[in-house]
Structure 1
Amino acid sequence: MERRELLRLLASAGALPLLAPLARAAGTADDWQARFEAARTPWKTGFATPPDDLPLTRATVRGRFPDAVAGTLLRIGPAGHDLGGERYHHWFDGDGMVHRFVIDGPDVRHQGRYVATPKRVAEVRAGRRLFEAFGTMPPGVEPPTSADSINVANTSVLPMQGEVLALWEGGSATRVDARTLETLGVKTWRPDLAGMPFSAHPKVDPDGTVWNFGVSSGQGLLALYEIAPEGTLRRAAVVPVADMPMVHDFAVTERHMVFLMPPLVYDGKRKEAGASFLDAHVWRPELGMRALVIDKQNWERRQMLTLPAGFLFHVGNAWEDETPSGTLIHIDYVRSDNADSVFTTNREVMRARVVRSTHPRLTVATLNLGTGKATQQALAQEAEFPRIDPRRVGLRHRQVVHATQIRPDLPGFGAIARTDVESGRSQRFSYGTQAMVEEHVFVPDGTKPGWVLGTVLDFGRQKTVLSCFAADHLAAGPVAQATLPYALPLGLHGAFVPA
């Protein structure tokens, strides 16, 4: 796409590429905060609001962390859930807090800081919520002046050139100092891209090239980015997508970008009527799960295939091979039958209630670009937060690390697993009945099997624990653990940076 055409489309998208919100008149206070405070469930610590930043604190270490995991585990998630007696109505709404676990053999230290976005700074100063959020319309909210005025920077992190980019769905990445976690301001890839959505799941090719996207729901546009390993923008464009769905993640292969698009479709009329961004979406299963495949070299070459209707947040990985019938793309992702989890499950935890939705399953799909046919197979494993060896992004892989073991009395998962997506064989480690698992990442170790590193909320002891496993002996349990003297709010995604 020519630069002139990109500028025209960006201008037509307006200042708010994700939301075109309608301010709601002031109303009476609701009882979500009171219900949360009154609940006796010990796991609610995972959804509590730390009153301040968390200074660098030494953990209690059992065992020794391997040399290959010497470095920093970065994590981020929603943490500022309530303000001025008002509580958000969705887990994804909270102001982001970024964490770093500095690992050095027998020594592990933790630090956490809120991302000082313009939104958080203005609201903390005012002592109340000023803007709408993903799933909440607080009373008396003001129309935002830009997408970044409502940016919560709470979903994922991308280490880049000595900094950390704190990522959200609907606006700019936010620059954070990798050593101090001080907020440095928004990342603008190019002046005409200021405020454009830069999504939370960029993919990094083995050669260091970064690929990402952003969704402009109101305008039906999908933004595409290609960024060089040194952090400079190579290309950006927007492409139109009819019936724009909620897209959280994507995959890359050696030659393609792959978007699985659930039939959760944006309805601008609902937004104009005052709905939150989430509630402006409608479930339209007749659309199926559309799979948009875009050529990496020529973004004008696009193909749409269709899978059975379903919902997803996260993709593991994708790879391609050539057959007599054409190019096959294999992609594994976490599939649910519907979107109940985002509408109900992830809302009710904000008042300390468990409402179970359909169980997400690790699923492997095959897209035949020659015939235009798409098929899939669900594996036996309940799953979320899939991660692979980062050296295999876009390449053939077999092993996926993921959370598993759903319990009816708790939100989330209680175990970590490593599953072979070709054979279906899986090994797991259960953290016990008083634990809630967060995302675990794979850490390479040369030609050795590597390590699995991640955190869990031990709500029985009201502490957060960092664990390290031998990747090929996950069921044997952690080789080392670091226990913090406090519990952190449950987060979303992270990244490991070697020392």
Structure 2
Amino acid sequence: MERRELLRLLATAGALPLLSPLARAAGATDNWQAQFEAADAPWKIGFVTPPGDLPLTRATVRGRFPDAVAGTLFRVGPAGHDLGGERYHHWFDGDGMAHRFVIEGTNVRHQGRYVATAKRVAEVKAGRHLTEAFGTILPGVEPPTSADAINVANTSVLPMQGEVLALWEGGSATRLDARTLDTLGVKTWRADLAGMPFSAHPKVDPDGTVWNFGVSASQSLLALYEIGPDGALRRAAVVPVPELPMIHDFAVTARHLVFLMPPLVYDGKRKEAGASFLDAHVWRPELGMRALVVDKQNWDKRQLLELPAGFLFHVGNAWEENTPRGARIHIDYVRTPNAESVFTSNREIMRARRVRLNEPHLTVATLDLGTGQATQRELPLEAEFPRIDPRRVGLRHRQVVHATQTRADVPGFGAVALTDIETGRSQRFSYGAQAIAEEHVFVPDGTKPGWVLGTALDFARQRTVLSCFAADHLAAGPVAQATLPYALPLGLHGAFVRA
């Protein structure tokens, strides 16, 4: 089949197949909202639905934010968890709310706005949920007509050419005005690519080139994108990948795109029987963790290697070295033995229940393209949301910023850490027993060590705080901290743009 025809099929179907009539009628009376409201977990404030947009508000600042972090931290995450008395059954289902923290020394201002996707606009107008979601099928919903009909734009952001793209897994990127967070509509890279999945973790090379992918699980097709520093599409194509699994993140090196593919594979029969898109996936450990390596210049040159079965959401970085036999790729990622968390932990928090399963650990894998062998070592360090110095994307690096420190009675993580992945040495700052650390990013500062910038939910005080740390003295605590007069919903990913 010609690539243009594959592109057309992928755009038409989107990443999510349509519901069957059985699925559309399924579901008993929902009581998750009542269970959430009755729960006494103090951390549940991180999963409360804001009734509306949050106007530009000044934070209380302690200390002074360094000149290198003068700019804007953009973030996004699920926020619209319930509507009309019905609550989603999965954290990832909530309508996205975009945030911007404007940082100017001792002055920090915050604004939050729901991303006005077609889905959200229609449902708010109706006063109820209208379509299925990633992990929830509520009674009375209709099948989606396309992936963008259920696009929640809640996972990550990509600043580009004066705009910010709010990203989701299965459909188009959504354009936001970087100064106001106004929703400007979906991003169409090319007419024949309209509606194609554009995933939530694009990678930006040091020269500004943007790489991304999209997954159509029902068709086992992987879409690939190359976008120039000017924001113009250079190439897009789809490649068939047998038993293509759920892929959330990937990595780039100087010469390759690297996809770690956990054995969580789509089963169309489950979907036909009425399962949600998430529950239509099956854990097949016999497949192992397949590593797909694609040549950046020639996407037809692909190689598969195998690691032990495991699951991941996020990748830190990858880099490659030349050997007499060929390239050897090193990639660090956050690994769990299986996918229990996506099915259970991230569901139960929607009714304010903490379920502790296998915790993720920072893991470093080596993919030897010359021998076809793959190995890995797991560091004894709980981790999530790995980020690196953006100048080192695809290049050799050592430091990874990440969340760490799980607790038995609180979901998420209690600390931020900076870890040397070669030595395993790590320094951390704990936010305390009554706080949840979100993703922190690394902000370069010329030849200096740089800064670590990120948010945390202080659920005891019902406040969100923005903190800045010296990267070489992270354990000493924040050099500056801005406290909002309210708590934000716990979010996912962000990006910093210098003023």
Q: Measure the CA separation in 1 of the matches of 2:10 and 2:268.
A: 13
Q: Measure the CA separation in 1 of the matches of 2:142 and 2:160.
A: 34
Preserved CA contact (<8 Å) 1:225 1:237: yes
What is the match of residue 20 of structure 1? 17
TM-score for the superposition, normalised by structure 2: 0.98
- Give unpaired runs (5+ residues) of structure 1: none
1:35-76 C-alpha deviation (Å, 9 max, x unpaired): 000011110000110000000000000000000000000000
Q: Measure the CA separation in 2 of the matches of 1:209 and 1:11.
A: 25
Alignment of 1:13-412 (within 5 A): 13=10, 15-22=12-19, 23=21, 24-25=24-25, 27-412=27-412
Report deviation, 1:132.
Answer: 0.5
Secondary structure at 2:132 match in 1: coil
- Aligned amino acid, residue 316 of structure 1: G
Report deviation, 1:14.
Answer: 6.1
Report deviation, 1:146.
Answer: 1.5
Report deviation, 1:385.
Answer: 0.1
- Aligned amino acid, residue 73 of structure 2: L
- Give unpaired runs (5+ residues) of structure 2: none
- The answer as to 2:10 corresponding to 1:10 is no
Q: Measure the CA separation in 2 of the matches of 1:48 and 1:381.
A: 30
Q: Measure the CA separation in 1 of the matches of 2:202 and 2:380.
A: 28
Report deviation, 1:305.
Answer: 0.1
Preserved CA contact (<8 Å) 1:17 1:218: no
1:328-348 C-alpha deviation (Å, 9 max, x unpaired): 000000000010110000000
Preserved CA contact (<8 Å) 1:29 1:86: no
- Aligned amino acid, residue 21 of structure 1: L
- Aligned amino acid, residue 184 of structure 2: L
Q: How many pairs does the alignment contain?
A: 496
Secondary structure at 1:35 match in 2: helix
- Aligned amino acid, residue 71 of structure 2: G
Q: Measure the CA separation in 2 of the matches of 1:144 and 1:410.
A: 35
1:274-320 C-alpha deviation (Å, 9 max, x unpaired): 11110000000000000000000000000000000000000000000
Preserved CA contact (<8 Å) 2:11 2:195: no
Q: Measure the CA separation in 2 of the matches of 1:240 and 1:449.
A: 43
Q: Measure the CA separation in 2 of the matches of 1:13 and 1:400.
A: 35
Preserved CA contact (<8 Å) 1:131 1:142: yes
Change in CA separation of 1:340 and 1:119 when aligned onto 2, cut-off 3 Å: same
Q: Measure the CA separation in 2 of the matches of 1:178 and 1:89.
A: 31
Q: Measure the CA separation in 2 of the matches of 1:87 and 1:6.
A: 41
Q: Measure the CA separation in 2 of the matches of 1:140 and 1:37.
A: 23
Of stretches 200-209 and 267-276 in structure 1, the one that deviates more from structure 2 is: 267-276
Preserved CA contact (<8 Å) 1:66 1:105: yes
1:460-482 C-alpha deviation (Å, 9 max, x unpaired): 00000000000010000000000
- Aligned amino acid, residue 71 of structure 1: G
TM-score for the superposition, normalised by structure 1: 0.98
- Aligned amino acid, residue 81 of structure 2: H
Report deviation, 1:11.
Answer: 3.1
Preserved CA contact (<8 Å) 1:17 1:219: no
Preserved CA contact (<8 Å) 1:151 1:171: yes
Identity within the alignment, %: 81
Let me know the Cα RMSD of the aligned residues: 0.9
Q: Measure the CA separation in 1 of the matches of 2:9 and 2:385.
A: 35
Report deviation, 1:324.
Answer: 2.2
Report deviation, 1:87.
Answer: 0.2
1:384-439 C-alpha deviation (Å, 9 max, x unpaired): 00000000000000000000001011100000000000011000000100000100
Q: Measure the CA separation in 1 of the matches of 2:476 and 2:13.
A: 50
- Aligned amino acid, residue 150 of structure 1: I
Report deviation, 1:138.
Answer: 1.1
Preserved CA contact (<8 Å) 1:21 1:272: no
1:134-187 C-alpha deviation (Å, 9 max, x unpaired): 100111111212211110000000000000000000000000000000000000
Q: Measure the CA separation in 1 of the matches of 2:390 and 2:124.
A: 38
1:87-134 C-alpha deviation (Å, 9 max, x unpaired): 000000000000000000000000000000000000000011001101
Report deviation, 1:21.
Answer: 2.2
- Aligned amino acid, residue 13 of structure 2: L
Secondary structure at 1:449 match in 2: coil
